[in-house]
Amino acid sequence: MKCDIASVWTAENIPEYHCLFSSDDLGTQETAAYYGINAESCAQAEHGAALGFAAARIFFSAPGKTAEDLLRTIGKCRFVANDREELCRINQAALPRVKPGTLEYIGLRVISEAYDRGAQIGIAERDLPALAQTVKTLPAISIGGCFVQGNIGGLHGKALGRYFRTCYELTKRVTVILPCGMPYLCIVGGAAAALKNAQEHPETLEDFLREARIVAAQNETAFYARLLLT
């Protein structure tokens, strides 16, 4: 079995960041190098549980989850809501299942507006204040995590490093606007972009690594979110 190249590269070069596994065939890959799974379907979430990943390390982030999807996987994963409607559907599914005094912790997919090209799935930062009012009306859930989405095609060196910082700073603002805790931050596409930097623009790699490590060091002294990449 062979680990994904981006995950191996990340572990060797920026070990402060942890990769999420994403594959249509989990059974053919070595999973030990991964912090958890970015599930793209119910089947992947269930397969991740069968492989021994705890629910807190299986992130069901696919858009368009149906009520049936939610009922099938609740308790086996951590949901990532991609819009307000999905947030409400997750709350509805969780209502009869959460124990008194407990909540279903979910993440949000948030779009970095500075890197928005109008095609990303997620919640724009400008919509977070209104979303905060919605969250107050949903008694079964609590926000606990962020998947940050942006158009990062072609970024390398300092520009890619600035994107990592933008994701970090955006996530900190989310905790204030909603407000909420932030046990993890996932930079969507970050592992692939970092590997591409190493392969196609090695002359700028140290600039990127320097910026990424500075973000990780600051996180360790103040924010303490687990830094994840897909």
**How much is the pLDDT for 1?**
34
| Most confident stretch, 100-104, 119-123, 141-145 | 141-145
CATH number at residue 222: 3.20.20.10
Q: How many domains does the chain have?
A: 1
**How much is the pLDDT for 23?**
61
**Dihedral sign for Cα atoms in the order 39, 85, 228, 188:** positive
**How much is the pLDDT for 100?**
83
Domain range for 157 is 5-229
pTM (two decimals): 0.94
**Separation CA 210–CA 97 (nearest Å):** 45
**Separation CA 159–CA 208 (nearest Å):** 8
Statement: residue 3 has pLDDT above 60: no
**How much is the pLDDT for 22?**
80
Of 18-27, 70-79, 136-145, 199-208, where does mean pLDDT reach its minimum?
18-27
**How much is the pLDDT for 141?**
96
pLDDT, one tens digit per residue, over 174-227 is 999 999 999 999 999 999 999 999 999 999 999 999 999 999 999 999 999 999
pLDDT, one tens digit per residue, over 28-44 is 556 666 899 999 999 99
**How much is the pLDDT for 57?**
96
- Is omega for the bond preceding 129 within 30 degrees of 0, making it cis? no
**How much is the pLDDT for 140?**
96
Q: CB-based burial of residue 159 (10 Å sphere; 0-12 exposed, 13-18 middle, 19+ buried)? A: middle
